[in-house]
Amino acid sequence: MGEKSVDQASLKMLNKAAQEGIETAWDRYEKQQPQCGFGLLGICCRNCNMGPCRIDPFGDEPQEGVCGATADTIAARNLLRMIAAGAAAHSDHGRDIVTTLYETAAGETQGYQIKDEGKLRALAAEFGIPEEGRGKEEIARDLAREAMEEFGMVKGKLQFLNRAPEKRRQLWEKVGITPRGVDREIVEVMHRTHIGVDNDYVNLTLHGVRTALSDGWGGSMFATEFSDVLFGTPQPIKGQSNLGVLKEDQVNIVVHGHEPVLSDMIVQAAREDDLLAAAQEKGANGINVCGMCCTGNEILMRHGVPVAGNFLQQELAVVTGVVDAMVVDVQCIMPALTQVARCYHTKVISTSPKARFPGADHVPFSEQTALDTARKIIMMAIDNFSHRKEELIQIPDEEMEYMAGFSVEAIIKALGGSLDPLLDAIKAGQIKGIAAIVGCNNPKISHDYGHLTLTRELIKNDVLVVQTGCAAIACAKAGLLLPEAADEAGPGLGAVCKALGIPPVLHMGSCVDISRILVTAAAIANALGVDMSDLPAAGAAPEWMSEKAVSIGSYVIGSGIFTVLGTVPPVLGAKKFTELLTQGAQDVLGAAFAVETDPMKAAGLILEHIAAKRKGLGLES
């Protein structure tokens, strides 16, 4: 693919940026060429100051670092540290949501409330917390305290693991990778990968999977479930996507990052009469709150708020010249954003003590003053409206409707109250299987091309696709999150979607909401009486780039689901370690990774895998 993106709105803004001398991620990527070959292969080590050490992948003689670490040890340690960082990012998100629930229940926050009492009580029952005769605040405090204990090692095992099929849990116990506590496993990664500790790449890998499982079945699942309690469990909702959602006649506020605790308050405050009046006084016809990345996913699936784009579009939104404030919290925010904003009138407003950006206006955020902080930020955007540079304004026309909000509860509701219709469709061959397409954008791949090409090929072959994160936003912009997209699906899947009035691609939320996909897969496996590794299901990350994606991929294969990566992980310089990830893991976990940069070939691998699993279950092809 010669183009930097397959999204026309992005291409227009890239052309505008080039004309105005604005450097974007694609330009910086080109400047980095050629990238370090040792780093790409994963065989450089900086874990002590005797190095850095690097292994020649083409050497005839076995090579070692100064301490004696081999290529396989070095690559395994490096990957484990990526898993630890990714798991920490997701799990810290989860911790913040748990803390917000606790403080809300204690009456210590501003603007928050328990919106889904039914889910709160269901979770309380799952954790063995008494409900009868107790108010929701009292139950919520106890539930949050129980969750807080699982970040350490007090309880010894994560509660949500009980959602997995018994066969999968027995496998985890046998192999010794049952997560004991979220933080416990992350800290142990850092210890094991210190010089002079764990040198066995197999042993390192097993703990990496254990750490990733503590993310998928722990930190991320807490983030998902407790966000539903606080902000409401998503139900199907329609809205608009792509850069065309920005409005020239309105104050545009783009919320970007991952945690919904602030963005939800901004959506709430932006509807207040006094702020709308303040915007009108400045000559604006309203306040337009839009999302970017996973914060965008969080508010679009609960409020129908427009989503301006995914990861690689964050700079391009600023290039339109109409973003009055880009409000950021944590994760996937490019440091270059403030440099681009400096060329326009846009204010970049950081809010988290964990993430400061030189050149940004910092407005400290706390849950205790959440609504007041949101109002302050909105007023900053309103005041900035009149500072626009008219000659720099250009908004692409591209804008596409989407349908999002397919939580597990929403899917079951759409199926009439149980999974039986879905199971029947799978057994009958109308739906061949299910594929989860998730992950980031990466300038190594033409923007959105991997997501869209893989998705279209799978639905054409009657594979139901579920998505989160930037992949879901890519498909939203392309119209694949609409019921009308059933016309692009195969005859079996298309008929099912038309009968139910749903798209062939289901938006299940933000990156942490891959936990919803785990819960769905576990429920299907339990209904069929099999392990998750027996299901006609697969995962894929066609354009992944972040350490969070490494953790995600590792907990997906650790849960027994074959996963295809579309960008090459830094492991290929370690032959034995690569063979373990792509072949040996199959014998231990019942699933392994495949690496395929061509999304059409990746689709072929997934279809072949689904066909084999159907045969194993005795289902018609």
Contact 572, 499 (CB under 8 A): no
Q: What is the pLDDT of residue 1?
A: 43
Distance CA 1, CA 442 (A): 13
CA atoms within 13 A on the CB side of 128: 4
Q: What is the pLDDT of residue 170?
A: 98
Contact 558, 550 (CB under 8 A): no
Q: What is the CATH number of domain 408-616?
A: 3.40.50.2030
Answer yes or no: is 332 a known binding residue.
yes
Q: What is the pLDDT of residue 621?
A: 65
Q: What is the pLDDT of residue 620?
A: 76
| Cis? peptide before 358, omega within 30° of 0 | no
Q: What is the pLDDT of residue 2?
A: 59
pLDDT digits (tens, 9 = 90+) for 9-36: 999 999 999 999 999 999 999 999 999 9
Residue 554: partners with Cβ closer than 8 Å, 6 or more residues away:
83, 208, 209, 211, 212
Residues of the chain with pLDDT under 50: 1
Answer yes or no: is 343 a known binding residue.
no
Please report the sign of the dihedral spanned by the C-alpha atoms of residue 407, residue 408, residue 412, residue 413: negative
Distance CA 68, CA 599 (A): 39
Q: Are strands 563-565 and 593-595 parallel, antiparallel or unpaired?
A: parallel
Q: CATH for 71-231, among 1.10.357.10, 3.50.40.10, 1.20.1290.10, 1.20.1270.30?
A: 1.20.1270.30
Any alpha helices (H) in 215-285, and if so which ranges? 220-231, 260-269, 273-281
Domain residue limits, the chain: 71-231, 243-392, 408-616
Distance CA 58, CA 52 (A): 19
Answer yes or no: is 511 a known binding residue.
yes
Answer yes or no: is 48 a known binding residue.
yes
CA dihedral 88, 94, 98, 100 (to 10 degrees): 100
Answer yes or no: is 475 a known binding residue.
no
pLDDT digits (tens, 9 = 90+) for 342-357: 999 999 999 999 999 9
Domain covering 243-392, topology: Rossmann fold (3.40.50)
Answer yes or no: is 293 a known binding residue.
no
Same fold, 71-231 and 243-392: no
Residue 98: partners with Cβ closer than 8 Å, 6 or more residues away:
144, 147, 148, 222, 226
Answer yes or no: is 53 a known binding residue.
yes
Answer yes or no: is 294 a known binding residue.
yes
Closest CA to 55 of 40, 46, 44, 66: 44
Which tokens sit at 63? 């090579």
Closest CA to 352 of 83, 91, 96: 96
